[in-house]
Amino acid sequence: MGARKRDWPAILLVAPAAAVFLALLVLPMIVVLVLSLGDRAEAGGYQAALTLAQYANLPARWTAFKNTLVMAPTGTLICLVIAYPLAYFLALRANPRTKLLLLILVIAPFWTSTLIRIYAWIFILGGKGIPALLANLGFDDIRLINTPFAVMVGIVYAYLPLMVFPIYVGLEKLDKRLLEASADLYATPVGSFLQVTLPLSAPGVVTGCMLVFILLMGEYLIPALLGGGKVFFVGNALVDLFLQSRNWPFGAACAVALVAIMLVTVTLYMRVTLKSGTMRDQSLI
């Protein structure tokens, strides 16, 4: 193939997808950016302008940003603490014949009706669920639903599978001979774990944390269903601004601020993972 000759068949094959991304991803993002620099019209629509007033107004939704910026990292950390031992068990200790099935069983919930699975927790944490059981044991008046605790349970429940998978992949690829070598050199099991397994599984941990953190930053459903309007994220503020109070320019500014925070995180994440060169085999399923 000549270096300057264009490969038209290949370009034609890629063009429709490029058009989809351009029309439904790039252009919409640009429109959001333009909107965020505008003014709110009297009727609640958009009035062309070039002002940073919407951004100056961001502190009005400070609670939503604060909740998100506290609960997203906390949720990510709890997911990690719960997921790591499970991934370790599946990758290194489980029966080789059943471990793939077990892994699929961990991942399956992530792909199946998030809405229904969160709804299940309304059921379990609601008045006639666990609180009723606790009342039988003599602990009266315990409220679980519509609290930060309920939102956190929902978060861990929904995102645990997404954390387990990359850690599992990392541990699974780990060269078992390194562990044998470590044991041969009289390392204790704990020493082997701390000096061999843990550092080598770090890229998987980073990937998992970033996946969960980014998705949590945009979370809407869990606070909406389990937080009962008391615990709300930026996502809930966005729904309010776009669909209820119809203040689009301000909503656009909130969305841009949210994406900016995510982009900074992704950039840091790319730096860490590209350096260790383990991003290639990771996927979402």
Partner 1 sequence: MRVLRSYATLVFLFLYAPIAVIVVFSFSAGHSASDFHGFSLQWYATAAGNRFVKDALVHSLIIAAASSALATVVGTAAALGLPRIRGPFRVVFDALTYVAIMVPGIVIGIATLIALVTAFEVLNPTLAALWPGDPAASPQLHMGLGSVILAHSVFATALVIMLVRARLLGMDRSLLEASSDLYATPWGTFRQVTLPMILPAVIAGFLLSFTFSLDDYVVASFVAGPTVTLPIYIFASVRRGVTPEINAIGTVVLSVSLLLLFGSLLLLRRGQRAGAATSKA
CA-nearest of 196, 238, 203 to 217 is: 238
Would you state the structure tokens that stand for residue 31, as one six-digit string?
Answer: 């429109």
Query: Please, which residue, 182 or 233, has the CB nearer to partner 1?
Result: 233
Closest distance between partner 1 and the C-beta of residue 226, in Å?
A: 11
Q: Indicate which single residue of 64, 78, 86, 200 sits in contact with partner 1 (rule: CB under 8 A).
A: 86
Q: Which stretch binds partner 1 (CB under 8 A): 50-58, 123-131, 168-176, 191-199?
A: 123-131
Q: Which stretch binds partner 1 (CB under 8 A): 54-62, 81-89, 168-176, 194-202?
A: 81-89
The residues in 196-215 that bind partner 1, with binding defined as CB under 8 A, are 211, 214-215
Q: Which amino acid type is present at position 171? A: L
Q: Return the residue matching tokens 């945009």.
A: 218
Instruction: Build a one-symbol-per-residue string for 240-259: x at contacts with partner 1 by CB under 8 A, - elsewhere.
Output: --xx----x--xx--x--xx
* Residues 85/79, Cβ–Cβ less than 8 Å: no
The residues in 94-113 that bind partner 1, with binding defined as CB under 8 A, are 94, 102, 104-106, 108-109, 111-113
- Max CA distance (Å), the chain: 81
Question: For residues 271 and 269, what is the distance between their CA atoms, to the nearest angstrom?
Answer: 5
CB atoms within 10 A of CB 64: 22
Question: For residues 221 and 227, what is the distance between their CA atoms, to the nearest angstrom?
Answer: 9
Chain length of the chain: 285
The residues in 37-76 that bind partner 1, with binding defined as CB under 8 A, are none
The residues in 16-35 that bind partner 1, with binding defined as CB under 8 A, are 16-18, 20-21, 24-29, 31-32, 35
Q: Which amino acid type is present at position 32? A: V
Query: Please, which residue, 53 or 99, has the CB nearer to partner 1?
Result: 99
Query: Please, which residue, 70 or 108, has the CB nearer to partner 1?
Result: 108
